[in-house]
Amino acid sequence: MAEGSGLRIVVLTRRGRCASARAAVDSLAAAGLPVAAVVAEPWLNLVFSKGILHGLRTQFLRHGWSTLRNKLGEQFSRGSGQEPLSAFCEARGIAYVEVADHNAPACAAILGSLQPDLIITANTRIILPRILRIPKKGGLNIHKSLLPRYAGLESIFWALYQGEKEVGVTIHCLAQGLDTGAIMAQTPLPVGPGDDLESLDRKADAEAARLLAQVITAIRDNKAAPLPQDESQRTYFSWPTPAQRRELAERLASRRASQRLVIINADDFGLTRSVNQAVVACHEKGVVTSATLMANAPAFDEAVALAKAHPSLGVGLHFNLTLGTPLCPPDRIPSLVDASGAFFPRRGLELKALLGRVESSHVALELEAQYHRLAHAGLKPTHIDGHQHCHVLPGVLGPVADFCRAHGLGIRCPRPAPLIRRSSQGSPAKTPRSLRSLLLKALLSWQWPRHARGLAGNDSFTSVFDIVPLPSRLAPSDYAELLAPSRVQGAAELMVHPSSDAGQLKGLTRIGDVSEAEYAALLAADVGALAAAAGGRLGHYGDLRPVPSSTPMTGRSA
Protein backbone atom coordinates (compact mmCIF):
# COMPACT_ATOMS: atom_id res chain seq x y z
CA MET A 1 0.00 0.00 0.00
CA ALA A 2 1.39 3.43 -0.92
CA GLU A 3 2.26 5.19 2.32
CA GLY A 4 -0.16 7.84 3.47
CA SER A 5 -2.53 7.64 0.51
CA GLY A 6 -4.82 4.74 1.36
CA LEU A 7 -4.76 3.86 -2.33
CA ARG A 8 -2.40 1.71 -4.36
CA ILE A 9 -2.05 3.51 -7.70
CA VAL A 10 -0.57 2.08 -10.90
CA VAL A 11 0.02 4.13 -14.06
CA LEU A 12 -0.25 2.60 -17.54
CA THR A 13 1.56 4.57 -20.23
CA ARG A 14 3.90 4.21 -23.17
CA ARG A 15 7.66 4.36 -23.09
CA GLY A 16 9.24 7.54 -24.42
CA ARG A 17 8.83 11.18 -23.48
CA CYS A 18 5.30 10.52 -22.10
CA ALA A 19 5.15 13.98 -20.55
CA SER A 20 1.60 13.60 -19.28
CA ALA A 21 2.44 10.47 -17.28
CA ARG A 22 5.57 12.02 -15.78
CA ALA A 23 3.70 15.17 -14.79
CA ALA A 24 0.93 13.07 -13.24
CA VAL A 25 3.37 10.98 -11.19
CA ASP A 26 5.05 14.06 -9.71
CA SER A 27 1.76 15.84 -9.06
CA LEU A 28 0.34 12.83 -7.23
CA ALA A 29 3.48 12.49 -5.12
CA ALA A 30 3.27 16.17 -4.15
CA ALA A 31 -0.35 15.62 -3.11
CA GLY A 32 0.57 12.67 -0.85
CA LEU A 33 -0.68 10.12 -3.39
CA PRO A 34 2.47 8.27 -4.46
CA VAL A 35 2.33 5.93 -7.42
CA ALA A 36 3.27 2.33 -6.65
CA ALA A 37 4.22 1.25 -10.17
CA VAL A 38 4.41 2.34 -13.80
CA VAL A 39 3.66 -0.25 -16.47
CA ALA A 40 4.88 0.91 -19.87
CA GLU A 41 4.30 -0.39 -23.38
CA PRO A 42 6.77 0.65 -26.12
CA TRP A 43 5.15 2.90 -28.72
CA LEU A 44 6.89 0.87 -31.39
CA ASN A 45 4.88 -2.19 -30.37
CA LEU A 46 1.70 -0.33 -31.28
CA VAL A 47 3.10 0.86 -34.61
CA PHE A 48 4.85 -2.31 -35.77
CA SER A 49 2.45 -4.97 -34.49
CA LYS A 50 1.91 -6.06 -38.11
CA GLY A 51 5.51 -5.70 -39.22
CA ILE A 52 7.95 -2.86 -39.73
CA LEU A 53 7.13 -2.09 -43.37
CA HIS A 54 3.37 -2.15 -42.73
CA GLY A 55 3.81 0.06 -39.67
CA LEU A 56 5.98 2.62 -41.44
CA ARG A 57 3.61 2.77 -44.42
CA THR A 58 0.57 3.20 -42.18
CA GLN A 59 2.23 5.91 -40.10
CA PHE A 60 3.46 7.75 -43.20
CA LEU A 61 0.01 7.75 -44.81
CA ARG A 62 -1.63 8.74 -41.53
CA HIS A 63 0.75 11.46 -40.35
CA GLY A 64 3.07 12.46 -43.16
CA TRP A 65 6.85 12.40 -43.05
CA SER A 66 7.40 15.35 -40.71
CA THR A 67 5.23 14.00 -37.87
CA LEU A 68 6.53 10.45 -38.35
CA ARG A 69 10.12 11.70 -38.15
CA ASN A 70 9.36 13.49 -34.86
CA LYS A 71 7.70 10.39 -33.40
CA LEU A 72 10.62 8.16 -34.36
CA GLY A 73 13.08 10.76 -33.10
CA GLU A 74 11.36 10.70 -29.70
CA GLN A 75 11.96 6.95 -29.46
CA PHE A 76 15.55 6.84 -30.68
CA SER A 77 17.09 10.23 -29.80
CA ARG A 78 19.79 10.31 -27.17
CA GLY A 79 21.32 13.07 -25.12
CA SER A 80 18.18 15.15 -24.79
CA GLY A 81 18.81 15.58 -21.09
CA GLN A 82 15.55 13.84 -20.20
CA GLU A 83 16.14 10.66 -18.26
CA PRO A 84 14.59 7.41 -19.54
CA LEU A 85 11.23 6.53 -18.00
CA SER A 86 12.84 3.65 -16.12
CA ALA A 87 15.38 6.02 -14.50
CA PHE A 88 12.61 8.54 -13.80
CA CYS A 89 10.75 5.88 -11.83
CA GLU A 90 13.85 4.53 -10.10
CA ALA A 91 14.74 8.00 -8.81
CA ARG A 92 11.30 8.22 -7.20
CA GLY A 93 11.25 4.73 -5.74
CA ILE A 94 8.52 3.58 -8.16
CA ALA A 95 8.47 0.07 -9.60
CA TYR A 96 8.87 0.11 -13.39
CA VAL A 97 7.72 -2.72 -15.65
CA GLU A 98 7.66 -2.97 -19.43
CA VAL A 99 5.09 -5.11 -21.22
CA ALA A 100 4.58 -5.91 -24.88
CA ASP A 101 0.84 -5.17 -24.77
CA HIS A 102 -1.24 -3.63 -22.00
CA ASN A 103 -4.13 -5.94 -22.90
CA ALA A 104 -2.09 -9.17 -22.99
CA PRO A 105 -2.39 -11.93 -20.34
CA ALA A 106 1.17 -11.17 -19.22
CA CYS A 107 0.18 -7.61 -18.31
CA ALA A 108 -2.95 -8.88 -16.57
CA ALA A 109 -0.78 -11.18 -14.46
CA ILE A 110 1.56 -8.32 -13.55
CA LEU A 111 -1.33 -6.07 -12.56
CA GLY A 112 -2.82 -8.91 -10.55
CA SER A 113 0.39 -9.19 -8.58
CA LEU A 114 0.53 -5.43 -8.06
CA GLN A 115 -3.03 -5.44 -6.66
CA PRO A 116 -3.87 -1.85 -7.61
CA ASP A 117 -6.81 0.00 -6.12
CA LEU A 118 -6.77 2.40 -9.05
CA ILE A 119 -5.11 2.54 -12.47
CA ILE A 120 -4.36 5.70 -14.43
CA THR A 121 -3.93 5.60 -18.20
CA ALA A 122 -2.00 8.18 -20.22
CA ASN A 123 -1.26 7.78 -23.94
CA THR A 124 -2.19 4.11 -24.15
CA ARG A 125 -4.16 1.89 -26.49
CA ILE A 126 -7.84 1.21 -25.63
CA ILE A 127 -7.78 -0.90 -22.46
CA LEU A 128 -9.97 -4.01 -22.59
CA PRO A 129 -12.57 -4.91 -19.91
CA ARG A 130 -10.53 -7.82 -18.52
CA ILE A 131 -7.82 -5.34 -17.52
CA LEU A 132 -10.31 -2.77 -16.23
CA ARG A 133 -11.78 -5.36 -13.84
CA ILE A 134 -8.45 -5.80 -12.00
CA PRO A 135 -8.25 -2.55 -9.95
CA LYS A 136 -10.63 -2.45 -6.98
CA LYS A 137 -11.80 1.12 -7.67
CA GLY A 138 -11.53 1.07 -11.46
CA GLY A 139 -9.47 3.44 -13.53
CA LEU A 140 -9.11 7.01 -14.71
CA ASN A 141 -7.96 8.41 -18.02
CA ILE A 142 -6.43 11.77 -18.92
CA HIS A 143 -8.07 13.23 -22.04
CA LYS A 144 -7.09 16.56 -23.58
CA SER A 145 -10.49 18.01 -24.43
CA LEU A 146 -13.69 19.05 -22.72
CA LEU A 147 -15.61 15.79 -23.10
CA PRO A 148 -18.01 14.81 -24.53
CA ARG A 149 -16.72 17.11 -27.31
CA TYR A 150 -13.58 16.11 -29.19
CA ALA A 151 -13.50 12.52 -28.03
CA GLY A 152 -11.03 10.34 -29.89
CA LEU A 153 -7.60 11.13 -31.23
CA GLU A 154 -5.48 14.32 -31.34
CA SER A 155 -8.11 16.39 -29.56
CA ILE A 156 -6.06 19.58 -29.31
CA PHE A 157 -5.32 19.44 -33.03
CA TRP A 158 -8.99 19.17 -33.90
CA ALA A 159 -10.04 21.93 -31.51
CA LEU A 160 -7.54 24.29 -33.17
CA TYR A 161 -8.47 23.08 -36.62
CA GLN A 162 -12.13 23.85 -35.91
CA GLY A 163 -11.22 27.33 -34.71
CA GLU A 164 -12.09 26.85 -31.03
CA LYS A 165 -11.11 29.64 -28.62
CA GLU A 166 -10.37 27.18 -25.84
CA VAL A 167 -9.24 23.59 -25.39
CA GLY A 168 -9.29 21.70 -22.11
CA VAL A 169 -8.55 18.60 -20.10
CA THR A 170 -10.90 16.00 -18.67
CA ILE A 171 -10.32 13.31 -16.05
CA HIS A 172 -12.87 10.58 -16.70
CA CYS A 173 -13.57 7.04 -15.60
CA LEU A 174 -12.31 4.22 -17.76
CA ALA A 175 -15.13 2.33 -19.43
CA GLN A 176 -15.68 0.13 -22.44
CA GLY A 177 -15.19 2.20 -25.58
CA LEU A 178 -13.11 5.25 -26.34
CA ASP A 179 -13.42 8.26 -23.99
CA THR A 180 -16.91 7.21 -22.85
CA GLY A 181 -16.65 7.03 -19.05
CA ALA A 182 -18.22 9.40 -16.53
CA ILE A 183 -16.53 12.77 -16.07
CA MET A 184 -14.77 13.29 -12.75
CA ALA A 185 -13.46 16.83 -13.44
CA GLN A 186 -12.47 19.07 -16.31
CA THR A 187 -10.82 22.44 -16.88
CA PRO A 188 -10.98 24.77 -19.91
CA LEU A 189 -7.72 26.25 -21.22
CA PRO A 190 -7.92 29.41 -23.36
CA VAL A 191 -6.02 29.47 -26.65
CA GLY A 192 -3.60 32.39 -26.43
CA PRO A 193 -2.41 34.43 -29.40
CA GLY A 194 0.97 32.70 -29.47
CA ASP A 195 -0.27 29.18 -28.77
CA ASP A 196 0.30 26.20 -31.02
CA LEU A 197 -0.07 22.43 -30.65
CA GLU A 198 3.05 22.04 -28.53
CA SER A 199 2.38 24.91 -26.14
CA LEU A 200 -1.22 23.83 -25.56
CA ASP A 201 -0.09 20.24 -25.07
CA ARG A 202 2.33 21.37 -22.35
CA LYS A 203 -0.36 23.42 -20.64
CA ALA A 204 -2.76 20.50 -20.84
CA ASP A 205 -0.21 18.12 -19.29
CA ALA A 206 0.36 20.46 -16.35
CA GLU A 207 -3.33 21.12 -15.76
CA ALA A 208 -4.27 17.44 -16.11
CA ALA A 209 -1.67 16.50 -13.51
CA ARG A 210 -3.04 19.06 -11.06
CA LEU A 211 -6.64 18.02 -11.71
CA LEU A 212 -5.85 14.31 -11.41
CA ALA A 213 -4.50 14.84 -7.89
CA GLN A 214 -7.74 16.60 -6.93
CA VAL A 215 -9.86 13.79 -8.34
CA ILE A 216 -7.93 10.99 -6.62
CA THR A 217 -7.99 12.90 -3.34
CA ALA A 218 -11.79 13.07 -3.70
CA ILE A 219 -11.93 9.32 -4.43
CA ARG A 220 -9.79 8.58 -1.38
CA ASP A 221 -12.03 10.73 0.80
CA ASN A 222 -15.25 9.28 -0.69
CA LYS A 223 -16.25 12.71 -2.02
CA ALA A 224 -16.06 12.04 -5.77
CA ALA A 225 -19.18 12.79 -7.81
CA PRO A 226 -18.87 11.40 -11.35
CA LEU A 227 -21.11 12.99 -13.98
CA PRO A 228 -22.31 10.85 -16.92
CA GLN A 229 -21.45 12.23 -20.33
CA ASP A 230 -24.20 13.79 -22.42
CA GLU A 231 -23.98 11.60 -25.50
CA SER A 232 -26.05 14.09 -27.52
CA GLN A 233 -23.11 16.52 -27.30
CA ARG A 234 -20.44 13.98 -28.24
CA THR A 235 -18.16 14.68 -31.17
CA TYR A 236 -15.49 12.21 -32.25
CA PHE A 237 -12.40 12.67 -34.42
CA SER A 238 -9.80 10.24 -35.72
CA TRP A 239 -6.32 10.93 -37.14
CA PRO A 240 -5.94 14.11 -39.19
CA THR A 241 -4.57 13.67 -42.70
CA PRO A 242 -1.13 15.03 -43.68
CA ALA A 243 -2.92 17.71 -45.71
CA GLN A 244 -4.94 18.80 -42.67
CA ARG A 245 -1.76 18.92 -40.58
CA ARG A 246 -0.10 21.15 -43.18
CA GLU A 247 -3.16 23.37 -43.36
CA LEU A 248 -3.27 23.94 -39.60
CA ALA A 249 0.49 24.53 -39.45
CA GLU A 250 0.16 27.20 -42.15
CA ARG A 251 -2.78 28.85 -40.38
CA LEU A 252 -0.96 28.94 -37.04
CA ALA A 253 2.21 30.30 -38.65
CA SER A 254 0.22 32.99 -40.45
CA ARG A 255 -1.58 33.99 -37.25
CA ARG A 256 1.66 34.19 -35.28
CA ALA A 257 3.44 36.16 -38.00
CA SER A 258 0.63 38.71 -38.05
CA GLN A 259 0.91 39.32 -34.29
CA ARG A 260 4.28 40.99 -34.24
CA LEU A 261 6.19 41.51 -31.01
CA VAL A 262 9.58 43.23 -31.09
CA ILE A 263 11.93 42.25 -28.25
CA ILE A 264 15.08 44.35 -27.77
CA ASN A 265 17.21 42.10 -25.58
CA ALA A 266 20.46 43.27 -23.98
CA ASP A 267 22.85 40.37 -23.40
CA ASP A 268 25.56 40.20 -20.70
CA PHE A 269 23.55 41.98 -17.99
CA GLY A 270 25.67 41.70 -14.82
CA LEU A 271 28.98 41.34 -16.65
CA THR A 272 30.31 44.78 -15.57
CA ARG A 273 28.98 47.95 -13.99
CA SER A 274 29.27 49.68 -17.38
CA VAL A 275 26.98 47.07 -18.94
CA ASN A 276 24.48 47.38 -16.09
CA GLN A 277 24.45 51.17 -16.40
CA ALA A 278 23.93 51.02 -20.17
CA VAL A 279 21.14 48.42 -19.97
CA VAL A 280 19.18 50.46 -17.44
CA ALA A 281 19.74 53.73 -19.30
CA CYS A 282 18.51 52.16 -22.54
CA HIS A 283 15.50 50.69 -20.77
CA GLU A 284 14.59 54.03 -19.22
CA LYS A 285 14.86 55.56 -22.71
CA GLY A 286 12.48 52.85 -24.00
CA VAL A 287 14.95 51.20 -26.37
CA VAL A 288 15.70 48.00 -24.37
CA THR A 289 12.75 45.89 -23.24
CA SER A 290 14.52 42.74 -22.07
CA ALA A 291 17.90 41.71 -20.66
CA THR A 292 19.53 38.40 -19.92
CA LEU A 293 21.48 38.20 -16.67
CA MET A 294 24.70 36.22 -16.20
CA ALA A 295 24.46 34.36 -12.90
CA ASN A 296 28.23 33.99 -12.44
CA ALA A 297 29.22 37.49 -13.57
CA PRO A 298 31.14 40.02 -11.41
CA ALA A 299 28.36 42.66 -11.32
CA PHE A 300 25.51 40.22 -10.69
CA ASP A 301 24.33 41.71 -7.38
CA GLU A 302 24.13 45.23 -8.80
CA ALA A 303 22.21 43.93 -11.83
CA VAL A 304 19.69 42.20 -9.54
CA ALA A 305 19.09 45.42 -7.62
CA LEU A 306 18.63 47.37 -10.85
CA ALA A 307 16.25 44.77 -12.25
CA LYS A 308 14.11 44.95 -9.12
CA ALA A 309 14.05 48.74 -9.38
CA HIS A 310 12.85 48.45 -13.01
CA PRO A 311 10.07 45.80 -12.95
CA SER A 312 9.00 46.60 -16.54
CA LEU A 313 12.32 45.20 -17.76
CA GLY A 314 11.93 41.55 -18.69
CA VAL A 315 14.87 39.61 -17.26
CA GLY A 316 15.97 36.20 -18.47
CA LEU A 317 18.95 33.94 -17.77
CA HIS A 318 22.03 34.39 -19.95
CA PHE A 319 23.22 30.80 -19.54
CA ASN A 320 27.01 30.87 -19.51
CA LEU A 321 29.33 27.95 -20.24
CA THR A 322 32.21 29.84 -21.88
CA LEU A 323 33.38 32.60 -19.54
CA GLY A 324 34.80 32.47 -16.03
CA THR A 325 34.09 29.69 -13.54
CA PRO A 326 30.92 27.67 -12.91
CA LEU A 327 28.60 27.91 -9.95
CA CYS A 328 28.70 24.12 -9.52
CA PRO A 329 31.81 22.51 -8.02
CA PRO A 330 34.04 21.72 -11.03
CA ASP A 331 34.41 18.06 -10.03
CA ARG A 332 30.64 17.61 -10.53
CA ILE A 333 30.73 18.90 -14.13
CA PRO A 334 34.12 17.73 -15.49
CA SER A 335 33.05 17.77 -19.16
CA LEU A 336 32.45 21.55 -18.97
CA VAL A 337 35.70 22.74 -17.34
CA ASP A 338 39.43 22.65 -17.93
CA ALA A 339 42.13 21.52 -15.50
CA SER A 340 41.94 24.81 -13.60
CA GLY A 341 38.19 24.46 -13.06
CA ALA A 342 37.30 27.27 -15.48
CA PHE A 343 34.92 27.01 -18.42
CA PHE A 344 36.41 26.25 -21.81
CA PRO A 345 36.43 29.22 -24.21
CA ARG A 346 33.78 29.25 -26.94
CA ARG A 347 35.73 27.40 -29.59
CA GLY A 348 36.87 24.76 -27.10
CA LEU A 349 33.32 24.12 -25.92
CA GLU A 350 32.02 24.00 -29.49
CA LEU A 351 34.64 21.42 -30.44
CA LYS A 352 33.85 19.23 -27.43
CA ALA A 353 30.13 19.49 -28.14
CA LEU A 354 30.52 18.59 -31.83
CA LEU A 355 32.64 15.57 -30.82
CA GLY A 356 29.93 14.45 -28.37
CA ARG A 357 32.07 15.05 -25.29
CA VAL A 358 29.69 17.35 -23.41
CA GLU A 359 27.64 15.46 -20.83
CA SER A 360 24.02 16.60 -20.75
CA SER A 361 23.78 15.71 -17.06
CA HIS A 362 26.62 18.17 -16.32
CA VAL A 363 24.84 20.88 -18.32
CA ALA A 364 21.63 20.24 -16.37
CA LEU A 365 23.44 20.65 -13.04
CA GLU A 366 25.07 23.95 -13.98
CA LEU A 367 21.84 25.25 -15.54
CA GLU A 368 19.96 24.47 -12.33
CA ALA A 369 22.57 26.33 -10.30
CA GLN A 370 22.58 29.41 -12.53
CA TYR A 371 18.79 29.59 -12.78
CA HIS A 372 18.29 29.24 -9.05
CA ARG A 373 20.79 31.97 -8.29
CA LEU A 374 18.41 34.34 -10.10
CA ALA A 375 15.35 32.78 -8.46
CA HIS A 376 16.87 32.96 -4.95
CA ALA A 377 17.71 36.61 -5.59
CA GLY A 378 14.00 37.25 -6.07
CA LEU A 379 13.86 37.36 -9.88
CA LYS A 380 11.50 35.31 -12.03
CA PRO A 381 13.28 34.73 -15.36
CA THR A 382 11.23 35.16 -18.52
CA HIS A 383 13.41 32.99 -20.76
CA ILE A 384 16.83 31.47 -21.35
CA ASP A 385 19.43 32.26 -23.97
CA GLY A 386 23.12 31.36 -24.09
CA HIS A 387 26.31 33.36 -23.83
CA GLN A 388 27.81 33.14 -27.33
CA HIS A 389 24.75 31.00 -28.19
CA CYS A 390 26.19 28.06 -26.22
CA HIS A 391 22.63 26.87 -25.49
CA VAL A 392 22.17 25.47 -29.02
CA LEU A 393 25.20 23.14 -28.94
CA PRO A 394 24.83 19.34 -29.01
CA GLY A 395 24.51 18.03 -25.46
CA VAL A 396 23.41 21.49 -24.27
CA LEU A 397 20.16 22.30 -26.07
CA GLY A 398 18.43 19.13 -24.84
CA PRO A 399 18.70 19.85 -21.11
CA VAL A 400 18.09 23.58 -21.68
CA ALA A 401 14.89 22.86 -23.64
CA ASP A 402 13.69 20.35 -21.05
CA PHE A 403 14.35 22.89 -18.29
CA CYS A 404 12.40 25.57 -20.18
CA ARG A 405 9.56 23.12 -20.70
CA ALA A 406 9.46 22.15 -17.04
CA HIS A 407 9.57 25.76 -15.77
CA GLY A 408 7.38 27.40 -18.43
CA LEU A 409 10.22 29.54 -19.79
CA GLY A 410 10.78 30.98 -23.24
CA ILE A 411 13.94 30.28 -25.21
CA ARG A 412 15.94 32.21 -27.80
CA CYS A 413 16.27 30.70 -31.27
CA PRO A 414 19.31 32.50 -32.75
CA ARG A 415 18.60 31.47 -36.34
CA PRO A 416 20.68 33.87 -38.45
CA ALA A 417 18.78 36.46 -40.48
CA PRO A 418 19.81 37.42 -44.02
CA LEU A 419 22.96 39.54 -44.01
CA ILE A 420 22.81 43.23 -44.79
CA ARG A 421 25.76 43.61 -47.15
CA ARG A 422 27.33 47.01 -47.66
CA SER A 423 30.36 48.45 -49.37
CA SER A 424 33.73 47.70 -47.81
CA GLN A 425 33.94 50.99 -45.88
CA GLY A 426 34.18 50.51 -42.16
CA SER A 427 35.92 47.99 -39.97
CA PRO A 428 35.58 44.27 -40.64
CA ALA A 429 33.27 42.14 -38.55
CA LYS A 430 34.84 40.86 -35.36
CA THR A 431 34.11 37.23 -36.21
CA PRO A 432 33.89 35.29 -39.52
CA ARG A 433 30.16 35.94 -39.67
CA SER A 434 29.40 33.73 -42.67
CA LEU A 435 31.07 30.65 -41.12
CA ARG A 436 29.37 31.32 -37.79
CA SER A 437 26.03 31.57 -39.59
CA LEU A 438 26.57 28.23 -41.30
CA LEU A 439 27.37 26.54 -37.99
CA LEU A 440 24.32 28.05 -36.28
CA LYS A 441 22.03 27.13 -39.15
CA ALA A 442 23.32 23.55 -39.18
CA LEU A 443 22.98 23.16 -35.41
CA LEU A 444 19.47 24.62 -35.35
CA SER A 445 18.27 22.52 -38.30
CA TRP A 446 19.53 19.40 -36.57
CA GLN A 447 18.88 20.18 -32.91
CA TRP A 448 15.81 22.41 -32.71
CA PRO A 449 13.15 19.97 -34.04
CA ARG A 450 14.44 17.22 -31.74
CA HIS A 451 14.55 19.23 -28.53
CA ALA A 452 12.98 22.70 -28.58
CA ARG A 453 10.00 22.27 -30.88
CA GLY A 454 6.95 23.97 -29.39
CA LEU A 455 8.70 26.07 -26.76
CA ALA A 456 7.72 29.73 -26.51
CA GLY A 457 10.32 31.82 -28.27
CA ASN A 458 11.22 34.22 -31.03
CA ASP A 459 10.33 33.67 -34.69
CA SER A 460 13.07 35.88 -36.12
CA PHE A 461 16.39 37.09 -34.80
CA THR A 462 18.82 39.82 -35.75
CA SER A 463 21.69 41.95 -34.41
CA VAL A 464 24.23 44.51 -35.64
CA PHE A 465 26.45 41.56 -36.57
CA ASP A 466 24.09 40.97 -39.50
CA ILE A 467 25.57 44.10 -41.07
CA VAL A 468 28.66 43.12 -43.12
CA PRO A 469 31.12 44.68 -42.80
CA LEU A 470 30.29 46.03 -39.39
CA PRO A 471 30.31 49.86 -39.49
CA SER A 472 33.02 51.62 -37.50
CA ARG A 473 30.26 53.80 -36.02
CA LEU A 474 26.69 52.62 -35.53
CA ALA A 475 23.75 54.91 -36.19
CA PRO A 476 19.96 54.85 -35.60
CA SER A 477 19.53 54.15 -39.31
CA ASP A 478 21.26 50.80 -38.81
CA TYR A 479 18.44 49.71 -36.49
CA ALA A 480 15.90 50.91 -39.05
CA GLU A 481 17.42 48.41 -41.50
CA LEU A 482 17.63 45.62 -38.94
CA LEU A 483 13.96 46.10 -37.96
CA ALA A 484 12.63 46.64 -41.46
CA PRO A 485 9.10 45.18 -41.82
CA SER A 486 10.38 42.42 -44.12
CA ARG A 487 12.74 41.19 -41.36
CA VAL A 488 10.22 41.29 -38.48
CA GLN A 489 8.25 38.04 -38.39
CA GLY A 490 6.04 37.13 -35.44
CA ALA A 491 8.04 37.57 -32.25
CA ALA A 492 11.26 39.22 -33.43
CA GLU A 493 14.32 39.64 -31.21
CA LEU A 494 16.98 42.29 -31.76
CA MET A 495 20.02 41.26 -29.71
CA VAL A 496 22.09 44.18 -28.40
CA HIS A 497 25.21 44.54 -26.23
CA PRO A 498 25.27 48.09 -24.83
CA SER A 499 28.05 49.25 -22.52
CA SER A 500 28.97 52.75 -21.34
CA ASP A 501 32.70 51.95 -21.04
CA ALA A 502 34.53 49.60 -23.41
CA GLY A 503 37.54 49.60 -21.09
CA GLN A 504 35.67 47.62 -18.42
CA LEU A 505 35.07 44.83 -20.94
CA LYS A 506 38.73 44.31 -21.76
CA GLY A 507 39.64 40.67 -21.25
CA LEU A 508 35.98 39.66 -21.00
CA THR A 509 34.83 40.09 -24.60
CA ARG A 510 36.21 41.05 -27.99
CA ILE A 511 33.32 43.39 -28.79
CA GLY A 512 33.87 46.10 -26.20
CA ASP A 513 34.23 48.86 -28.81
CA VAL A 514 31.09 47.63 -30.55
CA SER A 515 29.21 47.66 -27.24
CA GLU A 516 30.12 51.27 -26.53
CA ALA A 517 29.14 52.32 -30.06
CA GLU A 518 25.89 50.41 -29.76
CA TYR A 519 25.04 52.15 -26.51
CA ALA A 520 25.33 55.56 -28.15
CA ALA A 521 23.35 54.51 -31.23
CA LEU A 522 20.54 52.95 -29.19
CA LEU A 523 20.07 56.08 -27.10
CA ALA A 524 19.59 58.02 -30.34
CA ALA A 525 17.18 55.49 -31.91
CA ASP A 526 13.39 55.37 -31.74
CA VAL A 527 12.83 51.63 -31.74
CA GLY A 528 9.21 52.05 -30.68
CA ALA A 529 8.51 53.83 -33.95
CA LEU A 530 10.44 51.17 -35.85
CA ALA A 531 8.39 48.41 -34.20
CA ALA A 532 5.16 50.25 -35.03
CA ALA A 533 6.29 50.72 -38.64
CA ALA A 534 6.80 46.94 -38.82
CA GLY A 535 3.24 46.43 -37.55
CA GLY A 536 4.29 45.35 -34.08
CA ARG A 537 4.79 46.50 -30.52
CA LEU A 538 7.63 46.39 -28.05
CA GLY A 539 7.69 43.70 -25.38
CA HIS A 540 9.71 40.91 -23.78
CA TYR A 541 9.66 37.11 -23.59
CA GLY A 542 7.22 37.15 -20.70
CA ASP A 543 4.62 38.42 -23.17
CA LEU A 544 4.86 35.13 -25.08
CA ARG A 545 3.43 33.02 -22.24
CA PRO A 546 -0.36 33.39 -21.88
CA VAL A 547 -1.59 32.45 -18.38
CA PRO A 548 -3.94 29.42 -18.49
CA SER A 549 -7.16 29.24 -16.56
CA SER A 550 -6.86 27.46 -13.22
CA THR A 551 -10.51 27.18 -12.21
CA PRO A 552 -11.77 23.60 -12.60
CA MET A 553 -15.24 22.63 -13.77
CA THR A 554 -16.37 19.43 -12.09
CA GLY A 555 -19.35 17.09 -11.95
CA ARG A 556 -20.33 18.08 -8.39
CA SER A 557 -17.05 17.82 -6.57
CA ALA A 558 -13.55 16.74 -7.39
Q: What is the pLDDT of residue 99?
A: 95
Q: Is 534 inside a domain boundary?
A: no
Q: How many domains does the chain have?
A: 3
CA distances from 60 to 38, 176, 416 (A): 30, 29, 32
Q: What is the pLDDT of residue 266?
A: 98
Q: Is 536 inside a domain boundary?
A: no
SS3 378: coil
Cα(343)–Cα(17) distance, integer angstroms: 31
Q: What is the pLDDT of residue 67?
A: 59
Same domain, 122 and 178: no
Same domain, 194 and 51: no
Q: Is 401 inside a domain boundary?
A: yes
Same domain, 60 and 175: no
Q: Can you give the residue range of the structural domain that contains 314?
A: 259-525
SS3 362: helix
Same domain, 243 and 333: no
Indicate if the alpha-carbon torsion angle 45, 51, 54, 56 is positive or negative: positive
Same domain, 355 and 266: yes
Give me the half-sphere count of Cα atoms (radius 13 Å) on the Cβ side of residue 529. 9
Cα(33)–Cα(25) distance, integer angstroms: 9
Q: What is the pLDDT of residue 63?
A: 59
By the 8 A CB rule, do 225 and 182 touch? Answer: no
Q: Which CATH number fits the domain that encloses residue 211? A: 3.40.50.170
Q: What is the pLDDT of residue 327?
A: 98
Q: What is the pLDDT of residue 196?
A: 85
Q: What is the pLDDT of residue 557?
A: 32
Buried b (16+ CB within 10 A) or exposed e, 47-84: bbeeeeeebeeebeebbbeebbeeeeebeeeebbbbbe
Of the residues 90, 106, 137, the one at which a domain ends: 137
Same domain, 272 and 409: yes
Q: Is 217 inside a domain boundary?
A: yes
Q: What is the pLDDT of residue 550?
A: 34
Same domain, 188 and 122: no
Q: What is the pLDDT of residue 176?
A: 86
DSSP string for residues in 294-318: -TTSTTHHHHHHHHHH-TTSEEEEE
Q: Is 541 inside a domain boundary?
A: no
Q: Is 4 inside a domain boundary?
A: yes
Q: Is 377 inside a domain boundary?
A: yes
**Side chain identity at 359, as an amino acid letter?**
E
- Going by their DSSP bridges, the two strands 183-190 and 553-554 should be labelled as antiparallel
Q: Is 30 inside a domain boundary?
A: yes
Same domain, 73 and 103: yes
Q: In the 8-state DSSP scheme, what is residue 101?
A: -
Same domain, 197 and 178: yes
Q: What is the pLDDT of residue 443?
A: 86
Same domain, 204 and 319: no
Of the residues 137, 160, 191, the one at which a domain ends: 137
Same domain, 451 and 322: yes
Beta partners for residue 384, in sequence order? 317, 411
Residues of the chain short of pLDDT 50, as ranges, are: 1-2, 77-81, 426-432, 546-558
Q: Which CATH number fits the domain that encloses residue 373? A: 3.20.20.370
DSSP string for residues in 47-73: HTTT-HHHHHHHHHHHH-HHHHHHHHH
Of the residues 120, 137, 154, the one at which a domain ends: 137
- Per-residue pLDDT tens digits for 51-79: 556 556 666 566 565 655 555 555 554 43
CA distances from 62 to 31, 159, 266, 526 (A): 39, 19, 45, 50
CA distances from 46 to 37, 62, 66, 450 (A): 21, 14, 19, 22
Same domain, 412 and 461: yes
